[in-house]
Structure 1
Amino acid sequence: MAAEGLWDLTISTPVGRIDAVIELARQAGVLTGAAHGAGEHVPLDDITLDGDRLTWNQAITKPLRLNLAFAITIDGDTLTGTSRAGRLPASKVIGRRRAVPTAADDRA
């Protein structure tokens, strides 16, 4: 299952909805990534893709300072799963892969 690309995420948390963008790429055969949202750009750590299951950790400082653990299932260009911050309840995560522009898009 290919995970590479830009993903628009929505995380439903107890303090409200958070929109973010996850960027995943392969560098020297290793999956790497970063998250953009709430005015932050943070690296993704411990990224693991096992079949259609994607997991990673990241630290954020907005809206609160938290260490998050994501557990996601990829199904084509959509993803669903959870994000958990320590002992807090899991937050629902949904996402959609952004379409890759083609040369035909540039001519339109």
Structure 2
Amino acid sequence: MSVEGTWDLSISTPIGKIKAVAEFRRKDGVLVGTAYGAGEEVPLSDVVLDGDRLTWKQAITKPMRLNLAFAVTIDGDTLTGTSKAGRLPASKVTGERRTLHAGTGH
């Protein structure tokens, strides 16, 4: 199962849908990543792929300061799962991997 690449994410939160982009790559055999959204770029931590289940953590400051924990299932070029911030209810996450011919940049 490969997760490397750029993923367009949609997170359904109590304050509306948030669009974000996550990039995953291998660095020295270890999965690492970066997320882009709300005008900020943040590193992903604890990126773990176990079979088709991918988990990671990230801290954001916009729209508010939150520590997020993601748990998603990869199915080809799509993913579904949840994002959880502390004691708040989990938010549904969906995503699609960008194909090479679908434009460039983020």
Runs (4 or more) in structure 1 with deviation over 6 Å come to none
Aligned to 1:21: 21
Aligned to 2:104: none
Q: For the residues of structure 2 that align with 1:71 and 1:100, how far apart are their CA atoms?
A: 25
Specify the SS of the correspondent of 1:44: strand
Q: For the residues of structure 2 that align with 1:72 and 1:100, how far apart are their CA atoms?
A: 22
Structure 2, gaps ≥5 residues long: 102-106
Over the matched positions of the two proteins, sequence identity in percent amounts to 72
Opposite residue 45 of structure 2, the aligned amino acid is D
1:79, distance to aligned residue in structure 2 (A): 0.1
Structure 1, gaps ≥5 residues long: 102-108
Write out per-residue CA displacement over residues 39-81 of structure 1, whole angstroms, 9 at most, x where no aligned residue: 0100000000000000000000000100000000000000000
Specify the SS of the correspondent of 1:19: strand
Write out per-residue CA displacement over residues 19-52 of structure 1, whole angstroms, 9 at most, x where no aligned residue: 0000000011000000000001000000000000
Aligned to 2:33: 33
Aligned to 1:105: none
Aligned to 2:87: 87
Q: For the residues of structure 2 that align with 1:28 and 1:36, how far apart are their CA atoms?
A: 23
Q: How does the TM-score come out when normalised to structure 2?
A: 0.94
Opposite residue 39 of structure 1, the aligned amino acid is G
Larger radius of gyration: 1
Q: For the residues of structure 2 that align with 1:74 and 1:53, how far apart are their CA atoms?
A: 6
Opposite residue 9 of structure 2, the aligned amino acid is L
Q: For the residues of structure 1 that align with 2:64 and 2:73, how far apart are their CA atoms?
A: 26
1:100, distance to aligned residue in structure 2 (A): 1.4
Opposite residue 90 of structure 1, the aligned amino acid is A
Aligned to 2:53: 53
Q: For the residues of structure 1 that align with 2:72 and 2:14, how far apart are their CA atoms?
A: 19
Specify the SS of the correspondent of 2:88: coil
